[in-house]
Structure 1
Amino acid sequence: MPNDPLSRSNNRNSNNKSTKKAKPKTSKKKKITGKRVGWTLFFTMAIAIFCALGGYLFIMVSGENLLKANMDKTTINETSKVYDRNGQLMGELSIQKLEPVKEEDIPDLVKEAFVATEDKRFYEHQGVDIWSIGRAAVKDVMARSMVEGGSTLTQQLAKNMFLSRDKTFFRKATEVSIAMALERKYTKDEILTMYLNRIFFGHQRYGIKAASEFYFGVSDLNELKIWQIATLAAMPKGPSAYNPLSNPNDSKARRAVVLQLMYEQGYITKAEMDEAKEVDYDYTPPEKEQKYQAFIDYVLREAEKVTGKTEDDLNIGGYKIYTTMDAQAQTAMESAFSDDSLFESSKDDQQVQGSMVIMNHENGSLVALLGGRDYQTKGYSRVTQSRRQPGSAFKPIVSYAPALESGNYNANSPLSNEKQCFGNYCPGNLHGYSSTISMTDAITKSENIPAVWLLNKIGVNTGVQFAKSVGIQLTDEDKNLAIALGGLSKGTNTLEMAQAYSAFANLGEYQQAYSIKEIKDSAGKTTYKHDKSETKRVMSEQNAYSLTQMLQNVVNDGTGRSARLDRPVAGKTGTVQSGISGNSANRDVWFVGYTPEWTAAVWMGYDNPDATHMLKNSSKLSAAFFAKVMGDALKGVPVKDFKAPAGAQTPPPEKEPEQPTLSVSGLNGAYDPSTQTVSLNWTATGDSSTQYRIYRKETSEGQFTHLIDAVGSTSAQDLSALPGLTYEYYVTAYDLASGQETDPSNTISLMIEAEELEPQQPDTGTEPGTEPGTEQPGTENPDNGLPGNGGSEGNNGNGNENGNNGNNGNGSNGNNGGTGQGNGQTGEGNTPPGQGTTEPGGTGEGSNDGSVPTPGEVVTPPDSGNNGNSGETNAPTDSQAGTGG
């Protein structure tokens, strides 16, 4: 029964038993007694002491054995060797080490400088500084890697003499053992002397005496000045980064740290410290360089990056470095850079400099490079260390290539060529204006309006992203329309430009340039091998091929004719104007181009351009340099055509409007000695859209070149003819709407009689003290002017760069001379073109022969007038304003 008391009692008992069974059992804890703690501490200390004694004995024995076995050892392996792309030895990373200097010949201040900088407790420890090791260990643990050395001078000596440079705990223990053995065997001064005779100072110099002679020309260490001593003591921390020849600014900053330490430790006075901090390094070592030195130096920098090893490691590691250099190409480049006739002469000791890179666009390998004239080992390389504005050479990268990729444009697409502004940014053209112009003609003639208009249509961000995709380093400051004409905030260099154009040559595939194929260690084991992971497609094959065809037109018929070879060449010129009011000379000239085999970029200019250090020539100078080097580099290589993609097609041309019949005839001319002017006139058929082009050839020149462009009437004057010379002339008609040019008129020849009296110089705008008609600033610059538009290819300088197309703005008007100020009538743009005076060569850049270039382009860099405001909401910086070229 449910309510039975007995049943309820049994149920309770049953539940109680069940509960007791579920209760877990607990073990009895052992008590911690003093006896147990004592034994634990005893065994722990015993084990620790035993390990410490064992470790100490190992260090002692190991150090003694290593020191005894390697007493005469200064390097582990033979010097490393560098090979070209065919496996031929280029050179050795030779160690330049003079005889060791004796202890008594090392001044106390030299010793003190190194002690103060590298190991201030040197005279207190026994080879190992426990405090330094403890500090280093803490930093290593926090960083979870070996980041802090903690090495004493003695440890550094042990490492330099006997050990590899890898940072491992085992190597550190061995280093400590050798250091302690050295301390037991030698005195402190003997150790310091050995250290100073073996330490690495960069530029393959080992030892204090070798470094003193190389960097300062001082063989007697007692003659070293305080600032020189501190400079040497600054180098062990980073021989490549802190040597004064390669990095004078960083060296000076590090020297100041050393001087501060010397002062704080009482080795020099404050006055001595302050005086030594201010000295600038200006010594040039009289060193005869081995061949291919510039390429070898580039290889070393790349090797440091890809292997993580230091220059010191690579110098004495016994490595075999196999590179991509082509010996014939590098020799051709070095020969050209040593030929002064290929560079414009300078007024003083600051010479015109240059930089060139050649790369194989099929695989990205560097073929040849050189970063300057009179290059020295580990010297300043303009290949990577100099950044300059590229002018019109940037148009294909930021405007035309991305426009083709958008799918909305092709080589025959009509682009706007009307005179116009984009917001506050008002670029100008050299060859006048028209309603439209084809993309091919716009590139060939290097017109500015189409390039800016096109970038505005596709969007600045689109252009910027494409430029970045082909390796150009841009910032947010570059997001404006001025970049269409090469107005970059920080500029670029020949390495980046060669890489970018290589994508056009390689049917749209971009590959980052490299110089090392493989590195093997002293045992023959491969430690590094290049792969092709950097390859990426940035354009379709068809668009890249179409751009190549257009860039071929630039070389064949446009501004780059000086780059022509006996094989196919495509490329683009770039000229950057001075940016100085009243100075129509040029700051930078470029040519970037390629053959079916290789891509190359050339830059020329002054390292420190100012009003008196500008180029008179345009980019025909760099284009001719390209032709010279590439012609010699490819000598003996079979000629081939550019590779076309499968099923490549040329876009159908836009339907051309019916053209008027044009002809030019009846050219005649006469020379007036009183004004030193050649007057030309002719008869022609045409209408208001017809302009005329005058061509001239001096008898010593190989071919005719443009003299005057955009002449609207049937007469013109040549103010640049020089007495005593004979000139030939002819005229063509040019239809602005169609872009068609007629056959030449009849040719006339005029002998300019020499005058006994010095003729009065015409107002050519040349610099004081120069003869009229000579190559003065601007004579090679087709775009130096556009009054009211600031000159070259779209620079709104409000008349600062006068001479071109005076009808286009608020400055003095000229007819394409582009050489100076005041060449024509002053007005507000109402003077018809062709009424101003003209200097020779004012019609363009890139001509093949003679003193005058073909139609071309020029750009104005920083501070060139009132230009630079883009069509975007943000105006560009001064450095971006109005650049083109």
Structure 2
Amino acid sequence: MKYIKTFLLLGFIGALLGGIALTGIYFYIKPDLPSVAILKDVRLQTPMRIYTHDGKLISQYGVKRRIPVTLDQAPDLLQKAILATEDNRFYEHFGIDPIGITRAFINLVLTGEKSQGASTLTQQLARGFFLTREKTYIRKIKEVFIALHMETELSKDEIFELYLNKVELGHRSFGFGAAAQVYYGKRLDELTLAQIATLAGLPQAPSVLNPVSRPQRSVERRRIVLLRMLDEGYITRQQFDEAASAPVTAEKHGAEIELDAPYLADLIYSEMVTLYGKEEAETGGYQVYATVSSELQQAAQNAVKQNLHDYDERHGFRGAVARLWPQEQSNAEPNQEETSTECDSEPLYPDWLCEVTEETLINQLDNAGAFGFVFPVAVISVDEQSFTTRDVTGIERVIEWEGMDWARPFLSDSRQGQPPSQASDIVSAGDIVYIREQDNQWRLAQLPEVSGAFVALDPYDGAVQAIVGGYSFYQSQFNRATQAKRQVGSNIKPFVYSAALDNGYTVASIINDAPINEWDEATGVAWRPQNSPAEYDGPIRMRVALGKSKNVVSVRLLRGVGLDNTIEHLTRFGLDKADIHRDETVSLGSSSHTPLEIVRGMATIANGGFLIEPYFIDRVLNETGEVLWQTNPVVACSDCDETNSPQQQPVSEEADIEALLAAELNQSLPVQTDSDEVLAAPRVITPQNAFLVADMMRTAVRANGSWNKKTYWQGTGWRARNILQRTDLAGKTGTTNDSRDAWFSGFSRNLVATAWVGFDDMTRQLGRAAYNNPLAKRDPDRFGWMGNAMVGTESGAMAAQPAWIRFMQVALEDEPEEAMSVPDDIVRVRIDRTSGKLTRRTDHTTLFEYFLRGTEPTMYVLDDEVMDPAEQEDSTPDVEEIF
């Protein structure tokens, strides 16, 4: 009895001291324990994912890869595999497992090493969220307290679901949803039992047990997981045998990108970082939906790349990018005595060149790199009119004559050499060259040195429909669509003509298309702006002048309106006043603007006179799919004319800045989705002005008049109407001095787009291309030339417009024609074709023309003033002008 009392007393004292010690430890580490609020609102660090408007994944940003799943989405076998391996009594204990702790303690006493863990899933989760993996007593004590804390605040299912999404599983994958994608490129519900067991075995040591880095060790670990599942009765012996003997099928996968649009993704990423900060944007689990559709974005990317290849092929082949062996060895005769037996066993190349190893080949091809449509290959043999290539994977391809006959030698941007007659004129064995596939044919190619950009908008609300910043983002991350300010050339003229209409001119006003030769006292030189080509028609109607892009007429219109008035009018289209030159060259497009700025200005003409704000993001969702933010753009609102008239809302530089700041604020704040309020864009030109400019731009993209009556003339962008076969298109070409920049901007009723082509080196000219007979012969329709068969000096119509046309072929394929509506106060009268005066004649010397009511001509042409083109000297258009 005495001993029992002593034992009880000691036990009581021990328990009391233990309780005091435990309480002391608790208060000691209490400041490091997470709050209840954190446990109740645990947020996973989920990467930001960017989608097209129709739900195609474009990109993923964030160091940690995570694809959150609910417990219901996790396969039953995966749940059982995890429980059997990590914590089979998970649903029975209270956060710590006494049996597991006892086992670990006994092992520590017997071995003196902390080799066995006793952590439950709850403890592992606590460590993953709040602690490190270091094996210290204080960390273990903290882990226990946090686990107990979590069990009181969260249900078992909530803890298990957090574990499924939080646990680190190697190769930057966090959670089993991400691991399934990283290792197998699958969803969880698509995994086999062997793959499930492999993933379930990773939490213990993901860096050394993953099937990519350590496949053999992963097989051993997989077997342990399967044995635990077999012992618990979760699988049968047959399932165990099949899964245990299954081959390792894992390989590293990236995010399941469905549309590679890096320029667009980078723009959205940058905007999200601006709004939320880098860390929050990359870990907040945001699902960002862009305004673009996958179809139009892909069409724009293909159009830009193909257009740059067309330009590149017109200007000749620049030769191989590298060589596998010296040039003189390519034509050497084989020396059988020097041929080794080892080489003869598996020759990679001709026998006498067997010193070129697979490693050499891979290094050379890797150095060349794959971009856009092209990838590098080695030329391993050359026949008379074909050559054979091998790529980095060992696949051989034969390039036939039709895939290389374009390859005249490149001499300069304006000169090409003689056409080749055989393959050896182009390549030699040992060359590293690029190839690409086009129309199911492999073609010799090269990485374009010329650059391009493309932007398409919805003209009514500014939603970006497609954007391309260059040939390849992986070659150059500079986004030329939004960052490159380039001289716009004749793309400025619609805005100048709009200013003229606002200052007393009409579409039928007669302006003298005659050379200007004016002495400039300030510079001491004469200014002689010239037309391109240098042809002058004398008195000419304003519509024809815009359609033919007459430079001197644009200068005379600026003089009539006034420089200050013209510059003020240009700012109405969203152009930055600081970028506009304060001299008469502004009428010819000497100012520099980005393609995004130009397409925004063109949208004003297309939508009837409203200045919209381009935007890229449609909505932002959180990781559970809840809408956090929905865009509420300013829109072209014809019903809001009374509150958005030019008189009541004048547009100045200050007002434009305020509008931009308001738009940015709109992008930064949540929008109340239950509101029907429409944010109206400011009206900057009248609907009548916009209509008349757009109608003039329609004549710029078609042939006009009658060939037989000698009234025929072509707009500089005539290929648009000819190829697309639509009457509801409007557009304008643009070419700068010495052809350093080429533009084409145009629109249909519901889509406006701008294409630009030029060299990043602004001193380099686009040059000219000579006739290429093989390419021309393969073009079935000379009047449909739109690619590498075109000849002459590079211009907006030749270098930039084909990209616009290719895009519109896709964008408008299923869209019915929709003519522009005629606004109020627009009248249509018959005028004399030459003088612009009213006429009573109804023959080919006349035509119907639109006017703002009150500006139509009042005088009739006299009979002796009528000029019949059919009775004049030959006025057939110059061949170079047509082609």
TM-score w.r.t. the length of structure 1 is 0.44
Greater share of residues in helix: 2
Q: Tell me the TM-score normalised to structure 2 length.
A: 0.44
